[in-house]
């Protein structure tokens, strides 16, 4: 019986546990309160270098009924008569407007930039979305419907379409189907054959971690197979982001963690309500399974190479999420009236956010003008036959 606690000792344990629970509840309440305070769901006005609101500028949240469901977007422009640029985010289901907070692009100074949140993502996530509508055909139709709304609203016959990663997989299919609506198509981190990219990423990571002498990571990678025959293993999908960011070939070249670089910053963005911030992550988890296998195995270079509009690719030299070499091989197979390839040597998966000045210069000087003056050498083709 020597080990039996006395009633007094039990009371002390209970008091200690009660105090700990109260403190934990207080911390949770304070954290939720802080998140609520930084989540008013309001978009700040655009300001000039002196901090003054730019007269006549536009900075607005918009919700429309697209494809039968409410879908949200942010529209920002220093001058709403500027060319419209529709940004298609990555994922599937991973919105990107919050990246503007820490990595401002400056797009809104020169374009009427539209950060649309696709069906099932962010502001456009809802448990009421019929799962049977989560198809590529519907996503393409949604994109065209958003495009037509923007053309009508801003009185522009054609707009610029810029897709990033998954958004580039979606966007290049939209560009092929509805070229007359777009000034040009810009693919950033253009997906070509994603499963082949995954295989190449694992090969690179194994070699790099061996070079660095990281035996633990090498063992984990060896136990996480990827192949063209079997696809991606669950172990690889759990490990890939951590392994890529550990050597600077993930979302951004200087980003060493998606937790500190993406997850935490998102919660600070005031343009979203707290519920919308939660829905960003719900939408990402919900959307991905509808499209991942199709995205993974589709070889675009084998089926989609002829385009009736200018095509431009932005690729990061350090990108192993959507391998830059594969993007270049795909680019070389494309026939278009004008095309230009741009390798961003200090970027990984997100050149627009990593090297924004160069990206905006290309958009202004080449994309809007239908030129290729800033394109990489030997990346420009003569007009396709018959064009």
Which pLDDT score, from 0 to 100, does residue 384 have? 41
Token representation of residue 309: 């509009």
Name the residue with higher pLDDT: 377 or 31.
377
- 207 vs 12: which has the higher pLDDT: 207
Structural domains of the chain in order of their starting residue, each with its CATH number: 58-193+262-366 (3.40.50.1820), 195-249 (no CATH)
Helix ranges, the chain (H):
7-37, 99-102, 136-154, 166-177, 194-212, 215-222, 234-246, 258, 264-266, 274-297, 324-333, 351-354, 356-362
Does pLDDT of 24 surpass 80?
A: no
- Hey, CA dihedral for 28, 30, 33, 37, is it positive or negative? negative
Per-residue model confidence as pLDDT tens digits over 177-215: 999 999 999 999 999 999 999 999 999 999 999 999 999
Give the model's pLDDT for residue 272. 95
Q: Which of 162, 62, 114, 132 is nearest to 367 (CA)?
A: 162
- The residues, ordered by sequence, that sit 6+ positions from 263 with a Cβ below 8 Å of its Cβ are none
**What is the rounded CA–CA span in Å between residue 151 and residue 83?**
10
Asked if the model's pLDDT at residue 245 lies above 80, the reply is yes
Percent of residues in the chain assigned helix, strand, coil, to nearest 5: 45, 15, 35
pLDDT score for 222? 97
Give the span between the Cα atoms of 23 and 297, in whole angstroms: 50
CA distance 135 to 307: 23
pLDDT on residue 382: 43
Q: Which residue(s) pair with 231 in the sheet?
A: 227
**Tokens matching residue 196:** 């082949």
Residue 1 pLDDT: 45
Tokens describing residue 304:
């989609």
Distance CA 166, CA 348 (A): 15
Q: Is pLDDT of 154 > 70?
A: yes
Residue range 268-327, pLDDT digits in tens: 999 999 999 999 999 999 999 999 999 999 999 999 999 999 999 999 999 999 999 999
pTM, 2 dp: 0.89
66-87 per-position pLDDT tens digit: 999 999 999 999 999 999 999 9
Count Cβ atoms within 10 A of the Cβ of residue 360 and give its class: 0-12 exposed, 13-18 middle, 19 or more buried.
middle
Q: Please state the φ and ψ torsions of residue 145, each to the nearest 5 degrees.
A: -65, -40
- % of the chain with per-residue pLDDT over 90: 83
The mean pLDDT of the chain is 91
């Amino acid at each position: 019986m020597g080990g039996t606690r006395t009633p007094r000792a039990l009371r002390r344990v209970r008091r200690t546990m009660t105090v700990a629970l109260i403190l934990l509840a207080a911390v949770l309440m304070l954290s939720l309160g802080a998140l609520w305070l930084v989540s008013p769901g309001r978009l700040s006005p655009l300001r000039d270098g002196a901090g003054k609101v730019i007269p006549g500028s536009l900075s607005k949240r918009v919700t429309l009924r697209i494809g039968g469901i409410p879908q949200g977007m942010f529209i920002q422009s220093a001058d709403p008569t500027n060319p419209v640029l529709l940004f298609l985010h990555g994922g599937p289901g991973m919105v990107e407007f919050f990246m503007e907070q820490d990595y401002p692009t400056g797009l809104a100074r020169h374009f009427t930039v539209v950060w649309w949140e696709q069906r099932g993502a962010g502001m456009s996530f809802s448990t009421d979305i019929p799962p049977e509508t989560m198809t590529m055909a519907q996503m393409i139709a949604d994109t065209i419907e958003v495009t037509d709304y923007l053309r009508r609203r801003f009185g522009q016959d054609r707009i610029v379409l810029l897709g990033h990663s998954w958004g580039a997989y979606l966007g290049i299919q939209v560009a092929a189907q509805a070229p007359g609506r777009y000034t040009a198509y810009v693919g950033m981190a253009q997906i070509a054959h994603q499963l082949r990219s995954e295989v190449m990423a694992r090969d690179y990571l194994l070699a790099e971690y061996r070079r660095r002498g990281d035996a633990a990571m090498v063992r984990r990678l060896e136990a996480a197979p990827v192949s063209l025959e079997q696809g991606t293993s669950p172990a690889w999908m759990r490990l890939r982001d951590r392994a890529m960011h550990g050597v600077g070939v993930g979302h951004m070249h200087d980003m060493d963690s998606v937790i500190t670089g993406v997850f935490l910053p998102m919660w600070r963005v005031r343009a979203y309500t707290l519920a919308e911030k939660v829905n960003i992550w719900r939408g990402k988890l919900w959307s991905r399974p509808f499209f991942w296998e199709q995205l993974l195995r589709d070889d675009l270079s084998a089926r989609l190479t002829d385009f009736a509009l200018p095509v431009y690719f932005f690729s990061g030299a350090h990108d192993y999420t959507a391998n830059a070499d594969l993007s270049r091989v795909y680019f070389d197979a494309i026939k278009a009236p004008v095309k230009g390839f741009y390798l961003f040597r200090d970027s990984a998966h997100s050149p627009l956010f990593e090297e924004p000045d160069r990206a905006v210069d290309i958009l202004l000087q080449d994309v809007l003008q239908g030129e290729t003056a800033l394109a990489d050498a030997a990346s420009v083709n003569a007009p396709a036959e018959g064009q």
